[in-house]
Amino acid sequence: MERTYVLPGDSIDPTLIPSHPTRPLKLGLGLKHIPPSDIIPTIAGELVTDRRKNSMHIEYNGGRYVPIIGDLVIGTVQKTAADYYYVGLSDYTSNAILPQLAFEGASKKTRPNLAAGALVYARVSLANRHMDPELECVSTATGKADGLGPLVGGMIYTISLGMARRLRMAKLVEKGKVAVIEDLSSAGLAFEMAVGCNGKLWVNSENIKTILAVGRAVKETDEKNLGVEAQRKLARKLIKEMA
């Protein structure tokens, strides 16, 4: 991957725009195509070019989460209506709607009973600037949960949108890799995580110290923008403290 910093409206060097003989160019977050051939940034951040995937996007930390269809998010149930749960995704935004039948195998008799404060891992199924977003906890193609649904136990952490995207990236040895997670796992810490594109991280383990260590590792890496070596140093420190 190639990376460079850009500001809104900057001209992008043509050498940074990937090309592929068969794959169309994919423009991700923060980029806009202006016909016939101009591509401009709409936000400030790091331009990431992936020539293998023939794609480009802007990596940034700030800003308010805006739901996009297909995003995986972690939400908190705010209230329950006859057929829906109203789920909060971020501060100062309207609640998303989660149909009570949008779960694997759900019927009027078997649908989950989620109280206010319950956490759910869901996919954005509808996102429209004129309507509240809608969520689902089941694949419409297979009818299976595919890892979505209520999150029981564990702890929730708020992280930057940029860190959420980093955690969801493929596990590649490159700049931006969240090495602290792999090092904690390699050291024998058993835990599970769910990452929401809305800047939420859920960590669960049978050991509360592990939950706290993983949450601290991600938060500190995020807030201090630690590089790979600094992350590994932090991992060693946390493991030593748990011994």
Which whole number is the average pLDDT over 111-133? 92
Which whole number is the average pLDDT over 139-152? 90
Higher-pLDDT residue of 134, 57: 134
What is the rounded CA–CA span in Å between residue 158 and residue 30?
22
Range of 28-37, 87-96, 139-148, 213-222 with top mean pLDDT: 213-222
Please, what CATH class does the domain formed by 157-242 belong to? Answer: alpha beta
Name the H helices within the chain: 161-168, 179-186, 208-224, 228-242
What is the rounded CA–CA span in Å between residue 75 and residue 119?
6
pLDDT tens for 35-80 read: 888 899 988 888 888 888 888 888 777 678 888 889 999 999 999 9
pLDDT tens for 162-201 read: 889 888 874 433 444 689 999 999 999 999 999 999 999 9
Structure confidence at residue 50 (pLDDT): 84
Q: What is the pTM of this model?
A: 0.80
What is the rounded CA–CA span in Å between residue 155 and residue 103?
22
- CATH (residue range 2-59): 2.40.50.100
Domains 2-59 and 157-242 share a fold: no
Structure confidence at residue 171 (pLDDT): 45
Q: Is the pLDDT of residue 1 over 70?
A: no
Domain extent listing, the chain: 2-59, 72-152, 157-242
Structure confidence at residue 243 (pLDDT): 79
Please, what CATH class does the domain formed by 72-152 belong to? Answer: mainly beta
Which whole number is the average pLDDT over 1-27? 85
Structure confidence at residue 110 (pLDDT): 87
